[in-house]
Amino acid sequence: MLPTVGSKELVAWLPTLLGLGDGDLVGIPKIAYPTYDVGARLAGATPVVVDGLAAFGPPTKGRTPKLLWVNSPSNPTGRVLGVDHLAKVVDWARRNGIVVASDECYAELGRSDDEVPSILDPRVNGGSHEGLLAVYSLSKQSNLAGYRAAFVAGDPALVQRLLEIRKHAGMIVPWPVQEAMRVAVGDVEHVLEQKERYRSRRETLLPAIEAAGLRVEDSAAGLYLWATRDEDCWDTVADLARLGILVAPGAFYGEAAARHVRIALTATDERIAAAATRLAQRSVER
C-alpha cells in the first residue's frame, strides 16, 4: 500500500507515472469523473471511452489501451460492478497486457448491506494482484477530504515503481496525515455512522425527487442520486435552481450523461430536509 496526496492526484498522474505518452490509449468509462480523461491528456496519451470491452475488438497494436480505468461505485451514477463483471475485465486485461486501475473511493458507502467488491478480491483476480491497482480515499468514508488522505494498493511491482518515481517528484504524504489515515482505517464505527447518515438523507430526499418527476437510476452506492427527467440536463439544472436546489449537470461527466443530473447528499440534514420540502410544495402546486 502506498499513501497518496488524495485520490484525485493519483488519478490525474497515474498515466504519467506509468510512463504512458504519445500514441498510448487509456480506457475510461463512458460516464465518468472528468479526471480520468484529463490524466490521460496530461501524459500525452489518448483517452478512449469504453462501453464494454468488445468495443476494442481483437487486440491490435495501437488500439488496445495500456491502462484501463474502472470506477465502482461510480461517480456520478452510483453503479456497482459485481464480482463476475470485474473478473471478466481482469481476465481480458491480463490476456492483453493491460494495467487495470480501479477507483473504489465510495466502496464503504453502499446503499444497504449489498456487496461492493474490490478488484483486489480473490474472487475477482484469482488470488493474484498482478497488473491491478486499487485506488482508495478516506475523503468520503471518514470526512478527511481536507487532509488529502488516500492510498493505492495492488500489484507489488507496480506499487514499487510508483513509490520510486513519486518520492523523487515530491509526492509524499506528510507523516501526521499518514497517522490519521492509520487510525481511521482501523475504526469501523465512524464509517458505519457515516453510512447511516447518507442512508437517512437518501430516504428523505428520494421520494421528493421522484414526486417532482425525476427518475433515479443506478445510485446503489456513494454520495449522490443520479436522476433524469428525460430532458436536457441544463433544463433540469435551471428548474431546480429556481427552487434554490443546486445540482451538477450530467454533461460534466460525458456525452452519454447529457440528460441526467447528479444530486448530492452531502448537504446538512437540515438542508436536505429543506430541499425535500421545496420539491414537495412544487409537486402540490402542480
Rounded Cα distance between 241 and 3, Å, is: 39
For residue 57, pLDDT over 60 is answered with: no
- Quote the pLDDT of residue 111: 73
Rounded Cα distance between 280 and 60, Å, is: 54
The domain ranges of the chain are 2-185, 189-285
Confidence of residue 61 (pLDDT cuts 50, 70, 90): low
Confidence of residue 281 (pLDDT cuts 50, 70, 90): confident
Confidence of residue 220 (pLDDT cuts 50, 70, 90): confident
Q: Taking the CB of residue 178, how many other CB atoms lie within 10 A of it?
A: 14
Lowest mean per-residue pLDDT among 3-17, 27-41, 51-65, 163-177: 51-65
Q: pTM for this one? A: 0.90
Mean pLDDT, residues 236-242 taken together: 96
Rounded Cα distance between 194 and 199, Å, is: 9
Average pLDDT of the chain is 91
Rounded Cα distance between 274 and 48, Å, is: 41
Confidence of residue 65 (pLDDT cuts 50, 70, 90): confident
Burial class (CB in 10 A: 0-12, 13-18, 19+), 167: exposed
pLDDT tens digits for 124-173? 999 999 999 999 999 988 988 889 999 999 999 999 999 999 999 999 99
pLDDT tens digits for 183-204? 999 999 999 999 999 999 999 9
pLDDT tens digits for 88-127? 999 999 999 999 999 999 998 887 666 899 999 999 999 9
Q: Taking the CB of residue 29, how many other CB atoms lie within 10 A of it?
A: 25
Rounded Cα distance between 107 and 59, Å, is: 31
Q: Which residues pair with 214 in a beta bridge?
A: none
Mean pLDDT, residues 53-60 taken together: 54
Same fold flag, 2-185 and 189-285? no
Residues near 211 by beta carbon (within 8 Å), at least 6 away in sequence: 279, 280, 283
Q: Where are the strands (E) in 54-116, listed by range?
A: 67-71, 99-103
For residue 237, pLDDT over 80 is answered with: yes
The 3-state secondary structure of 149-184 reads: EEEEEECHHHHHHHHHHHHHHCCCCCHHHHHHHHHH
Rounded Cα distance between 107 and 175, Å, is: 25
Question: Cell 495492488 sits at which residue?
Answer: 154
Q: Which three cell numbers stand for residue 102?
A: 480501479
Mean pLDDT, residues 226-251 taken together: 97
Return the CATH class of domain 189-285.
alpha beta
Return the CATH class of domain 2-185.
alpha beta
Burial class (CB in 10 A: 0-12, 13-18, 19+), 263: buried
